[in-house]
Structure 1
Amino acid sequence: MVGAKRKLSRAEGANKSARTEAEQPTVPEDPVEMYSDEDMEGGFEDLEDGDDGDEPEDQDMEDDEEEDGHVQGAPSKLTEPSESSAPDARFSVPSLEEIHGLKETSELYMNNMFKLQLDEMMRQIRPDFEHAQTLEQALRRMHKVFDSLPSLPPQSLPDALSSLERLSDARIVPPFADPKPREEAAYKFSFEKPSNIHLVGSWPLRTAARRPGELDVDVEVCMPSALFQEKDTFNARYFHKRAFYLAVIASALQKDAKLGMDVEFMDPEHNGRSTCLVLRARDTSSKEFRKFKTVIRVHAAHELGLFPLGRLAPNRNSLRGAIADAEEGSRLAPTPQYNSSLVADSLRMPHLLFLHSTAEACAGFAEASQLLKTWATQRGFGSLLLNGSQLKKYPGRQMVAGSENTRFMLTMLLAHLLHGDEPSSGLRGRTLHAQRPKLSFGYNSYQLMRGVFDFLAKHPWATSPVYMRAQPRYGLASHAEQVPPTSFSAASRVLVDPSGCVNLLAAWPAASVDLLQQEAAQTLHMLNDAESDCFRALFLTPRTSPVETFDEAGVVTLSTRSDDTVRRLDAGSARAYAIEHMLGISATALGSRAWNVAVSYSAPATTWALSEEPPALSRKVEFGVRLNAEHAWRQVEHGPPPEDAVSCTSFRAFWGDVAELRRFRDGRVLESVVWPVSNLDERTALPRRVLQHALLRHGCITKPSKLQFVNPTFDGLLDVKPDLAHRAYLKSPLEVGFSAVQGAYDVLVKQLRAMDDLPLSVIGVQPVAQALRSMSTFAPGPLNLAELGSEVPDCASYLPVHPLLLTLESSGRWPDDLGAIQEMKAALYERMAAVLGPKLPGAIMRVVYDRDAEAGETIQDQSSLQITLPAGFAFSCRIHHDREHHLLERLVRSSSGAARRRAQDALTRYDQRFVHAAAHHAALQALYDQYPSLGTTVRLVERWVSAQMLSTQVPVEAIELLAVAVYTSSAHTPPATGVAGLVRVLTLLRDWHHRETVLIVPLEAASRRAHEYRQVKADADRKAPGTAPADLRHITATSPPVTVTSTQRVAAEQAFRAARARDPAIHHSAWSIATDLDESGSLWTHEAPSVTIADALRQLADRAVAHIESPVVQKDETMVLFTPSLKMYDFVLHLDPAVHTRYAESLQPDSSAWLAKDKRAFKNLRAVRPSLYGNESRPGWDPVGEYVELLQSLYPGIFHLFYDHHGGTAIGGVWDNAMKKPHPFKVMLGYSSRPESKSNVVLNTEAILSELARLGFGLVKKVEVSST
């Protein structure tokens, strides 16, 4: 690791060397406040021998190749040096500029690959500004059209619309903003050709960045001042005249045949006041222009200074709403968004001049702006231009509510950090002194981008407004006298442009700004992680769906009814007002339960034909809630004490009849809301319940069904059907969860440690069972052993076995021979059974051998003590003797051939069973203590994998490591719900190129962090109960990432490359999951999954994520994810569920499997079917699993079997491809065959299937053979 420590002079010198003194622009002579080295720089890791990584391509950003074969930004063709070239010409000493570039790469970027990926991406997203001749031709033609426009005299609205129709020879509907103009309006509509025409926006700045869909080029037409009156600022009169002006221009552009453009209206801000024209090349127009994938947007503007700015201050009212007779608008509620839209129409050109000057002075400005825009687009900030086939190419893209101007806002924020604040008096009477610029003009694009992220993440937006410095040279002089800073006091988030008149965040709900801040903090967290490749997560992977980003997500159909007419009109649309209202209510209702609530809607900007009315905005929007896991599921809302009458009135008004006055155990008397729960599912649903109550009470929704969540559709997937659970278990697992098995474990451990009659005392008991770390797919219930064979049906009689490792006190009595050690273990198990019997009345003790145990085996551990407790749980105890490891290692070194392979197999089993399993369990248990949703995530992923009939194909430990990778990733905050964790694990499976890369999981480092978290919390609670940090898990910009060391990463990558070199066909370790406990990456995945299964899982995960992001809000839609298709199998063995001991775990169990058809125990209760297995408990007995193992041992290499061990009633089989081909006949062929020709035979599939049915008699109901 090379540290990134650099002095300011070196940084500026390195950047300035790229430009000559003659090229140096004038840089403002402001003092510069530099960020610290830690803020602005990262380290890099020399991965010269590492994996080259993936090309930075993504379907959401890549451009199609040009039809003539030219790809924009591609390097020119390289030529070989001629033989006559001098050696020093080919291998010359690097220039000073190249040395500076290499040094900058090593010091600034997180690793050496990041800079290369960044450069490659910039070639993809940078438009081809130099080859825009067809665009220039279209703009010149538009200018001619504008110059030839005829004038229209002032006239009433009906007469003006008639004149418009005569001009266009077709019906054109002006896009009037709300409130719509009345036909009898006193003001007149007229038209004069534009006084000025400007090219504005990002195109002339060269800060435009390609994104999904089309790129926009903005043209501004300035409306003559003679068309307006001073009173036009009120009641949307200006916007009505503006809409009529645009309609006249649209008619002329549409009629011009030489232009060859289709013209539509578009509302980029979704407020009815920013409507513009969109010009898109027709199919018959220039082929070169269509290939450019660019549209032209025409905006209408008024001249700077036309209207008094004091009248348009954000604390003034310009919409009288229902009070038409009001004499003075300032007495009404302010209309900041309306006023901001009107003023902003005159500032496009001054903003362009200001930004252009900044870009000239800062060489990295344009590229930094493009990086910021790309980053924001991938996170759902900013609208898109999608048309026709592009809507299908990018389905479901969402945009964060109110963030339509994100790209412009981020560019202005970058300029602000280069110029510094405006000195002025602040809000609430405070004086804001001018601060030095945060960023230097000498920074490169990466440093500038990082500086913006740092400011976004750390600035207290809720309490500290931001004022950009005035720029009088560009028409952005300060107007503090007319628009004082205190006029922005009502705004929740403030970023004022250099004119001091426009809040760039006026249309942003506070929740959307907070979400942007959290995304910036998370991005800084990724940039600080020098050991991980986060480039794809930063710039290439779209994360616009709330399902993929938030812990709770869903769809809400908003009520647009409102009694506050002024606020609704100010918002620009009923939907915008409803969203703002919903977010405010949600924030109050959830309080500390959630970090953030956000709303999103379709990202593509709405366009419509000139002859149509503007389409109504959909009231159905998506939302997401990022939960604070420390407080999300509390049952009591504490309100004010009764002495505070005003607060009590407000509290009761908000919560309604659920609020009550309560006395608590500590003596406090408070207004409170108590949310009762009866089981774990109801507790998990508390945030949803709170949110639904608040939104319904305050009119955000009209009925509960209008609020639909994704997470409830996954309920029940991890639970046994309630009526069956009550028959089979002493207590329902739905009510007690994992506490029942943990309680039984504690009882057993107490008795094991208390055994005094053993030759060696038990000094340690280490659990290694999934259920004892709360990660088994089903929480094991206490099986009613007394009712086996009667009330407990056979299909619910499965009794899982939970393995434990016992450590005995050190002693010289142990023999120094492997065979004798195994015999001594068996003897100790028998002695333990005798000692424990009296202490555990009703318990059943058995010394059992593994299923693969062999008679005469002397070196391998293969026995254990199985204990079935009367409480309904079974445990398996194995003695861990560390001397075995030394003896096995010595045997491996001293033997050869078959004996060495046997010894190596025994050593591998020992390590996995006694060393790695224990360490794995301990690490996961620590992580579960820190992240309670980790257990549910693992369980849901296991359920999903099993439902694909891949139960035997993927080790559970590998699934657990995938989940840990999600929780320790610096790409996002740890999920607080299991469904959010499931989606992210599926996303990881989709994006992980397992054939080319190793997945590195910092398991031990994460567990150490979890222990530290628990210790800090315990210390805080001990010093002052209740004052522990709200949630130490919440990622901030300064928290260090959890990662492996660079040495461990290099070792893991080297081991992966070596493994792939040895096994290019990937017969083993298709998944390589390395940890800081296992650098080989093959500990749990050496044998499974196979490369075919790994590839299939990636495809399934891709489809599953796309399906969930729809989003899924209906139960039957979710069940599609867990319902596999049987058409892909060559044959299917259908099982009888009545004799399947795990059928109770099925996704949709049929009661006919356990209830007698025509027999009743009572008049209202059907009797249980007669038992086949009787009343004897059989721990671990799974007849379907045994049957599958039997078939695989009898027919190795003939077929592959797939099934769901969680109650699946079908076994899918696929014939091995090699077995389908004819083979020469020979004796002892090894499988049933039939003649195919005189010398060849083929597999006799019919006979084999008959054998399978015979072997499964009583279990297999029928055999289905595929017809294809």
Structure 2
Amino acid sequence: MKAIEIVRVTLNFIATSESWSRGLYFPKTGQSSITKEEKIQLKESFPVIICHPSGGFNLAFRMSRNGFNRLQDEAALTLKCMEKCRDGGFEEVFMTKIDYAVKYDYCMRLNLKGKTEVYASGFCLDDECWRLYEEKVHGILAKALNDKAKSIQVTWGNTQCQWSVNNGLSVLDKEPLFIGISVSTLEKAFSIVDIGPNAESNDEALEFRKFWGEKAELRRFKDGRIAESIVWESEQWSRHLVLKRIVEHVIGRHLSLSMENIICAVDQLDFSLLHGAGDPVAYSGNLLGAFDLLSKRLRLIEDLPLKVSSVQPLDSAFRFTSVFPPEPHLLANEKIESLRLNKYAPSCIQPLEVMIQLEGSGNWPMDEIAIEKTKSSFLIQIGESLQKTWGMTCTATENDVDVLTAGYVFRLKILHERGLNLLNKEGNNQAKRVPSTDKKLFTHSQHASMTNDLQSRYSIYGPVVRLAKRWVASHLFSACLLEEAVELLVAYIFLNPFPLGVPCSRINGFLRFLRLLSQYDWTYSPLIVDINNDLSPSDEKEINDNFLLRRKGRGENGQSMEAGMFLATVYDKASESWTGLSPSVLELKRLVAYARSSVNLLTKLTFEDEVGPYRWECLFRTPLSNYDAIILLHKNKLPYPQRLLFPSEADNGKIIARGNPSKSFQPFLLPKDLKNKPAEALKNKLLIDFDPSRSFIRDLEKEFSNTFKLWHDSLGGDVIGLTWKESYSSKKRKQEEDENEAHNPSKVLKVAGQVGKGFVRSILFLKAPKAHELILIPS
């Protein structure tokens, strides 16, 4: 056999051989076999046996049953990795760094300082006392978690690596005991009911109650069975905390540890998902119900030349990957029956894109502009019909038709059938002749459909995407990495988890996203996301050819205006849709650096109890000192100020401008605004898709396209970072500054402040310029 075949056979033997139950015995030279008595003695003494030819000596005498089970799991996973990954999985198996934080879904620490029970067995045994304590903890957890956990590792690194025996044994309890848990399935891990023995089994029921204590209760189930059980009452959005609660209960009960000494890396990042969003699951039923109602009514429209044949939701809220799942708005209804407000109602509302396809027809015009005008005409007719037949409020602009129903605003888009046929039949080259709106809608629909399927397969996918989007936006990368690109990056770690298993917790999935971003070889490799195994070898070859073609277009220094990330899918083999223009090579380098820093911090937080002032919140706080200048915005002029995670403040830098807030816009509707007003007048107060931040950034990009680059948070940040473009900061430019004060950076920033008057709070030049006067921006 070849060497690789020997490796495969060996791994398969470790993973699957039944010989391990009997033990492996290598007799002495010239001896036919080991005696039965010797085998019995070894079997009684050790859980795993590899008997040395010298006779009676077990090479696996230090291996525990749990350790061997983990070894078998790793061998099986390695075989699968070698089978599924290209090049035999060499890079995944031998070149990928694996530590506890990324390996286990749930990482926990027990602080055992001063725990005298650990030393009760003394130090004179063959097994050290702390190893016996590891086995005790493992036994408790294995019994409590049962089939919820695939594997459990308990390790007590009881001394620091630099410890010397000359310093004595007083340091042996300073380091925490580490617990790593890999989940078997999400359904089992998130289950809130654990069923124990039947009531008739007295001894087993007594043992069950002794183990679980006051949590055990006798319940009757739907099948008529009466059994002992444990119920972990939990809301749907917090099911990921069930496993944590189980561990805290049994560890606290059987080891007499307080909650302060049981640290679980489980929910520390949930604040970023709940802030400004509330319960992320509560409104999902309302949203899907509203969409179903709209879809049925669209299909029932009779007064159209072509009937509506299909309706597909495109917004990320429908696939549960939106950072801020939309809440139903009081004024976005057919009838407004009650205007009593328990809280301030937002004056802005985000529309949710919905794609419509019509019946086929050969009467569509061939001209691109005429096609767009025809689609607009259809949308207006659809809106009028919905309004006339069902009383649904519809608003139309030159580009969009919005429908208000059941508390939501749906933005209708039509995909032209001929454009879809061209894309399906003739591929990407022909697709460039299709109207851009149809191409965009097609890619959106394909992406929405595929990622929705992914969410149905992996329920943890949605929360991980939301964390990833929060991180990207919090570090002002919203313009560099589109939401859809983030969704595909997270999809990749679920579809290609090797050499690990599929992530089954939020923190673990988020850490893997950051590692992918920071460690992937973006310069020499395309990232191929094959969600439904649709890509054939010829498709992969086409993708690689497209990647090489783009790479050849770079200059001698390896940089170009092309995007630095090549993200390919079955519907986008040339990486045009989401990463065609961004992130650029320089933006990607910045992204990678930020991701690497976050990986280090997140890993450190998982293993260390205290890391100074740097806590979990710092993963979503961006250092403002990394920009040449910053623009701070008035928080109460943001469209959704409740979404702001951390208000921005700068302690250094030169203040170039300050401004007072405008009175022309309020983010909330006050009760007095709604009192004694007719329904239609109230609906007119609702601002659909209004975002002053987006408008301000668009104006700045138009005005200063060659001067500075903007970095912003599209999810509701109150700061915009500025970095001078290379052409502006060149030596020639600096000479021009001395000759022409109009090119002075502080002058430029003052003009930028004028563009955002009433919205800009202050502008700071972080690289202090020469003495400049303070200017007040009029509101």
- In the alignment, which residue of structure 2 is the partner of 1:1265? 765
TM normalised by structure 2 equals 0.85
- In the alignment, which residue of structure 2 is the partner of 1:557? 111
- In the alignment, which residue of structure 2 is the partner of 1:1236? 738
Question: Matches of residues 454-853 of structure 1 in structure 2 within 5 Å?
Answer: 454-459=12-17, 464-472=21-29, 480=35, 483-485=38-40, 488-489=43-44, 491-498=46-53, 501-529=56-84, 531=86, 534-544=89-99, 546-558=100-112, 560-562=115-117, 570=125, 572-602=127-157, 611-614=166-169, 616-618=171-173, 619-627=175-183, 628-681=185-238, 683-699=239-255, 702-721=257-276, 732-734=278-280, 736=282, 738-785=284-331, 793=344, 796-838=346-388, 840-841=390-391, 843-849=392-398
- In the alignment, which residue of structure 1 is the partner of 2:723? 1214
Counterpart residue identity of residue 397, structure 2: V
Task: Pick the structure with greater CA Rg.
Answer: 1
The CA distance in 1 between the partners of 2:444 and 2:753, in whole Å, is: 37
The CA distance in 2 between the partners of 1:775 and 1:798, in whole Å, is: 21
Contact 2:15 / 2:73 at 8 angstroms: preserved in 1? Answer: yes
- In the alignment, which residue of structure 2 is the partner of 1:920? 447
The CA distance in 2 between the partners of 1:789 and 1:1128, in whole Å, is: 46
Classify the secondary structure of the residue corresponding to 1:1127.
Answer: helix
1:872 paired with 2:407, answer yes
Contact 1:788 / 1:1177 at 8 angstroms: preserved in 2? Answer: no
Contact 2:156 / 2:178 at 8 angstroms: preserved in 1? Answer: yes
2:576 pairs with one of 1082, 1106, 1109: 1082
Counterpart residue identity of residue 107, structure 2: A
Gap change, CA 1:472 and 1:885, over 3 Å in 2: closer
Contact 2:699 / 2:755 at 8 angstroms: preserved in 1? Answer: no
Q: CA deviation at 1:549?
A: 0.8
1:1129 paired with 2:638, answer no
TM normalised by structure 1 equals 0.53
The CA distance in 2 between the partners of 1:490 and 1:567, in whole Å, is: 20
Gap change, CA 1:607 and 1:807, over 3 Å in 2: closer
1:1058 paired with 2:524, answer no
Counterpart residue identity of residue 1088, structure 1: S
1:949 paired with 2:476, answer yes
Classify the secondary structure of the residue corresponding to 2:71.
Answer: helix
Gap change, CA 1:1077 and 1:678, over 3 Å in 2: closer
* Greater displacement, 1109-1118 / 685-694: 1109-1118
Q: CA deviation at 1:838?
A: 4.7
Classify the secondary structure of the residue corresponding to 2:146.
Answer: helix
- In the alignment, which residue of structure 2 is the partner of 1:988? 516
1:1002 paired with 2:530, answer yes
Counterpart residue identity of residue 554, structure 1: M
Counterpart residue identity of residue 767, structure 1: P
Cα shift readout 1:673-692 (whole Å, capped 9, x = no counterpart): 111113512x2200111111
The CA distance in 2 between the partners of 1:946 and 1:563, in whole Å, is: 46
The CA distance in 2 between the partners of 1:1130 and 1:745, in whole Å, is: 45
Counterpart residue identity of residue 581, structure 1: K
The CA distance in 2 between the partners of 1:1250 and 1:848, in whole Å, is: 34
Q: CA deviation at 1:761?
A: 1.4
Classify the secondary structure of the residue corresponding to 1:1004.
Answer: coil
2:6 pairs with one of 448, 461, 469: 448
Cα shift readout 1:1048-1093 (whole Å, capped 9, x = no counterpart): 3332222211111123323112101122333223332111111111
Gap change, CA 1:789 and 1:1202, over 3 Å in 2: farther
Gap change, CA 1:1129 and 1:1148, over 3 Å in 2: closer
Contact 2:109 / 2:176 at 8 angstroms: preserved in 1? Answer: yes
1:1204 paired with 2:713, answer yes
Cα shift readout 1:321-361 (whole Å, capped 9, x = no counterpart): xxxxxxxxxxxxxxxxxxxxxxxxxxxxxxxxxxxxxxxxx
Counterpart residue identity of residue 811, structure 1: S
Counterpart residue identity of residue 653, structure 1: K
1:1246 paired with 2:746, answer yes
Classify the secondary structure of the residue corresponding to 2:514.
Answer: helix
Cα shift readout 1:46-89 (whole Å, capped 9, x = no counterpart): xxxxxxxxxxxxxxxxxxxxxxxxxxxxxxxxxxxxxxxxxxxx
Contact 2:137 / 2:154 at 8 angstroms: preserved in 1? Answer: no
- In the alignment, which residue of structure 1 is the partner of 2:653? none
Counterpart residue identity of residue 1247, structure 1: K
Contact 1:845 / 1:865 at 8 angstroms: preserved in 2? Answer: yes
Gap change, CA 1:1247 and 1:518, over 3 Å in 2: same
The CA distance in 2 between the partners of 1:640 and 1:995, in whole Å, is: 58
Counterpart residue identity of residue 1204, structure 1: D
The CA distance in 1 between the partners of 2:673 and 2:172, in whole Å, is: 61
Counterpart residue identity of residue 524, structure 2: E
Classify the secondary structure of the residue corresponding to 2:272.
Answer: coil
The CA distance in 2 between the partners of 1:694 and 1:651, in whole Å, is: 12
Q: CA deviation at 1:1254?
A: 1.9
Counterpart residue identity of residue 613, structure 1: G
- In the alignment, which residue of structure 2 is the partner of 1:1034? none
Contact 1:954 / 1:1089 at 8 angstroms: preserved in 2? Answer: yes
Counterpart residue identity of residue 873, structure 1: Y
Q: CA deviation at 1:1193?
A: 1.5
Q: CA deviation at 1:1171?
A: 8.1
The CA distance in 1 between the partners of 2:242 and 2:25, in whole Å, is: 43
Contact 2:313 / 2:354 at 8 angstroms: preserved in 1? Answer: yes
For these two proteins, the number of residue pairs brought into alignment is 726
The CA distance in 2 between the partners of 1:1224 and 1:552, in whole Å, is: 54
Contact 1:467 / 1:498 at 8 angstroms: preserved in 2? Answer: no
Counterpart residue identity of residue 523, structure 2: R
Classify the secondary structure of the residue corresponding to 1:1219.
Answer: coil
Gap change, CA 1:964 and 1:603, over 3 Å in 2: farther
The CA distance in 2 between the partners of 1:1217 and 1:840, in whole Å, is: 57
- In the alignment, which residue of structure 1 is the partner of 2:416? 881
Classify the secondary structure of the residue corresponding to 1:708.
Answer: strand
2:586 pairs with one of 1082, 1089, 1092: 1092
2:642 pairs with one of 1126, 1141, 1144: 1144
Q: Identity over aligned residues, as a percent?
A: 24
Contact 1:830 / 1:847 at 8 angstroms: preserved in 2? Answer: yes
The CA distance in 2 between the partners of 1:471 and 1:1111, in whole Å, is: 52
Classify the secondary structure of the residue corresponding to 2:690.
Answer: coil
Gap change, CA 1:1125 and 1:848, over 3 Å in 2: same
Greater RCO (CA < 8 Å, at least 6 residues apart): 2
Cα shift readout 1:639-669 (whole Å, capped 9, x = no counterpart): 1111111111111111111111111122111
Gap change, CA 1:532 and 1:1106, over 3 Å in 2: farther
1:1109 paired with 2:603, answer yes
